A and B are shown apart, each in its own frame.
Chain A
Amino acid sequence: MSGKTGFKTFAGGIHPPYNKELAKDEATKPCPVPAEVYIPLSQHIGAPNVPLVSAGDRVELGQRIGATDAFVSAPVHSSVAGTVKEIAEVAGFTGARVKCVVITPDAEQPEFSRQPGKDLDAYSDEEIRAIAREAGLVGMGGAAFPTHVKLTPPKDKPVDTVIINACECEPFLTCDHRLMLERPSDLVAGLKLLMKAVGAKDGVIGIEANKMDAVEEMRKAAAGVDGVKVDILDVKYPEGAEKMLIFALTGRKVPPGKLPSEVGCLVQNVGTAIALYEAAAWGKPLYERVVTVSGDGITKPGNLLVRIGTPIQSLIDACGGVKGDTAKIIMGGPMTGWAQPGAGAPVVKGTSGVLLFTADMVDVGEEHECVRCGKCVDVCPMFLQPNFIVQAVKREEWDRAEMWGALDCFECGCCSFTCPAYIPHVSYVRKAKADIAALKKR
């Protein structure tokens, strides 16, 4: 369906203040190597890795330092050349403690030595999956689902369309926007690899209408490439949610509780596609990524190429430090990201942004009794009933919470954004999900 502006979109959703202009014109620059990197052994959904190194070992740039045999998992690689200091538990971005390989980098860091190029068209689908796994690729939009698993759809559900999620509908974030401006042809090459891996004949790059310069660049890069096209989408949040994006671009609806392969689609993030290209063309594992540092609490907002494991304090320093009285540090976007108790958490593969908000940006009202205005129902892109989920959770009626759709919620936060009673629906939904899962396990 098309929205008010004539571009493709979905029903529901919200229009938060986008604030992209803070960082969108800042070219990506490398973030200085910190005194110590903390590389978590689990940066993805799935089984955690086992460390392959121990304290005192020397590691090279891109060396594999954690792996496991589990299928739903992705190995991790060292983002620096240096010495392993210890294997310690550090507070990660969710607040939970995660096992990390702590590495002291050498003073001089080597350039990554690119392997002699192989013809990308010569790779078989099996080889591409293997490359994705070897390079430790995960979804870099935030959910961090291992890429090689996504590239292995069930046999009876053939994928015909690969979608590159280039919406970047989260306010403030500009890292995907920068990647598209700076490396459009790498993205198209990555998309071709993804299409080959799942045997899809169509590739679509979906970009929100507030990034027309990126649309232009990508159209140039995709011109003449077989099966690849660029589509413009309405500026609306959460346009980049997997199911919303598939519906907006193809008109197909992924049923509740099902994966995109159910309707023959595969969705990948811009960063992931480029990382796949790097892995296939240069043999480069995923050890660094572009991170947007923005918000009204940072002196010089920008986009940094950050080595995985860099504490966010280093990113803040690289952007000129804090400005004013910072009230909140967010890892990820403002709609789905995690508020940090400090600046110590390391950047992981799924980190798209570090945002610093001052007090006037943070609008925390007092939670009022639900006034049943129905705005949360109106904006929910999944057509759930968030107010009733909250009510059911408060009464601990888990069957009702499930009936109103607690398990189908992907926590986009539209409901809380628009709630005049300032109810934090997402935290109630998380509680419902945890408790329903615990009940079902028994």
Chain B
Amino acid sequence: MAELLTNVSPHLHKKDETISRAMKDVLIALAPAAVWALVVFGFNVVLILAVSCIAAAVAEVVMRKIMGRKITLKDYSAMVTAVLFVFLLPPTTPLWVVAIGSFIAIAVFKELMGGLGKNVVNPAIAARLLLWITPLSIYTTKFVRPFYWKDSGFFTPIATSFSKGVTTFQTLAGNTVDVVAAATPLSLLKSGRWGVEVITGPTPIGATWTNSAGRPTLGSMFLGLKSGCIGEVSVLLLLLGGLYLIWRGTIDWRIPTGIIGSFLLLNLVFWKQPFYQLFAGGLFLGAFFMATDWVTSPVTRRGKWIYAVGIGLTVFLIRLLHYRPEGVAIAILMWNIGTLVIDRYIAQPKFGEVGVGLFNKLPVLPEPAPAPAKKEA
């Protein structure tokens, strides 16, 4: 008989319950939205995705080599971060900016924090917000209208002029044309400028772009016919991906339910274009794919509800009060940090426990005996 294993019980493990399985599931769930972004925004999306993944892989290998840790590319967590980071960028982002952002996401916000499991904030969001507060932000705020590539060609890369700070795309004939710098639905809503820079007429898939008031219709927003970040485009496909993750047991249903539910409720109560708000911006992307990040969300049921409702409330307040139109990323980042406090202090009553307070209290254990004094020689 071969050498027998003698580890501690349990001696069974759930089949295929591994970190890489979960990460692969997230990639699968993100795929439809990515393909749709490709259709809407052209081939540029593929280039951005490729650059982001390569930069993330390089960052992980370099950082882990420097710190003398094992390379763990095969758990796919770096790829998930790379793809999520891309989802937060406008389709016009220059590739070198993508590379820098993706590298920072992995190198700084993941590996320097201790690697998968030790990071405090979601690396993709943190890197995105870092780009936002640096001069690079001029490259990460230009949005294009859906199907802009019909004028230039699907495979035409977008070139960016640094001096002008504006994005242009080159036609195959070699003439440069200014991009129609489209406003996102949220920026329209924020500025109150309805009907400006918004496309009218039938969409390529038969829906109507705008309603009589000049806003994108709810239907076109739900299907993903609007300006916005690469990944935010199709609410429908993000929802399907999210439901797939819930069905697979990869993410907890409480977090998206809490975020979307509380956000919708607040908007309904204050009547701030509730459904318009719901489908605009990155709410679904954040609720299903960002806030549910295992590492940076609370582990208890109670904690998850507090966290989720907190995010919903914060997004509502930012969109209502802040000068920026969008607030999902900031809200999630804030509550990532809040998770530290929630997990430490919010009590989860044990089975059969009665009269539990809201907060965890440390029990009093006797001090360990001091180490015996060394005898002098």
Contact = CB atoms under 8 A, between A and B. Distances in A.
Interface in A316-340: 322, 325-330, 332, 334-340
**Interface core residue of B2, B9, B11 (most chain A CB under 10 Å):** B11
Interface stretch (A109-117, A126-134, A209-217, A360-368): A360-368
Nearest to B5: A328
Contacts of A329: 4
Contacts of A342: 4
A100 B364 CA distance: 41
A305 interface: no
A383 B350 contact: yes
A416 B9 CA distance: 9
A3 interface: no
Nearest to A12: B351
A440 B4 contact: no
Nearest to A16: B12
Interface in A409-442: 411-414, 416-422, 424, 426-427, 430, 436, 439-440, 442
B173 to A, nearest CB: 51
Contact of A255 (B296, B298, B353, B361): B353
B329 to A, nearest CB: 20
Interface string B296-307: 111111001000
Contact of A413 (B9, B21, B118): B9
B348 A254 contact: no
A96 interface: no
A337 B6 CA distance: 11
Interface string A335-365: 1111111100000000000010100011111
A365 B1 CA distance: 22
A377 B362 contact: no
B289 to A, nearest CB: 15
Nearest to A421: B19
Contact of A387 (B118, B299, B360, B361): B299
A323 B231 CA distance: 53
Nearest to B17: A420
Interface in B301-334: 301, 304
Contacts, number: 182
A22 interface: no
Contacts of B162: none
B228 to A, nearest CB: 30
Interface in B271-304: 294-301, 304
A330 B11 contact: yes
A79 B105 CA distance: 67
B19 A334 contact: no
**Interface core residue of B1, B2, B304, B366 (most chain A CB under 10 Å):** B1
B225 to A, nearest CB: 35
A372 B365 CA distance: 27
B7 A364 contact: yes
A171 interface: yes
A59 B235 CA distance: 79
A70 interface: no
B174 interface: no
Nearest to A358: B2
Nearest to A95: B6
A368 B19 contact: yes
B8 interface: yes
Interface residues on B, range: 35 or more
Interface string B348-374: 111111100000111111101100000
Contacts of B364: 399
Interface stretch (A41-49, A223-231, A400-408): A400-408
Interface in A375-405: 375, 377-378, 381-385, 387-388, 398-400, 402-403, 405
A374 B13 contact: no
A341 B14 contact: no
A364 B364 CA distance: 37
Given A255-B353, A329-B4, A439 B300 contact: no
A426 B2 contact: no
A403 B2 CA distance: 42
B9 A338 contact: yes
Contacts of B351: 243, 247, 253, 256, 381-383, 408
Given A371-B294, A373-B22, A417-B14, A341 B4 contact: yes
A408 B363 CA distance: 14
Given A339-B11, A442-B366, A365 B5 contact: no
Contact of B14 (A378, A384, A418): A418
B15 interface: yes
A430 B8 contact: yes
B245 to A, nearest CB: 12
A370 interface: yes
A183 B238 CA distance: 57
A69 interface: no
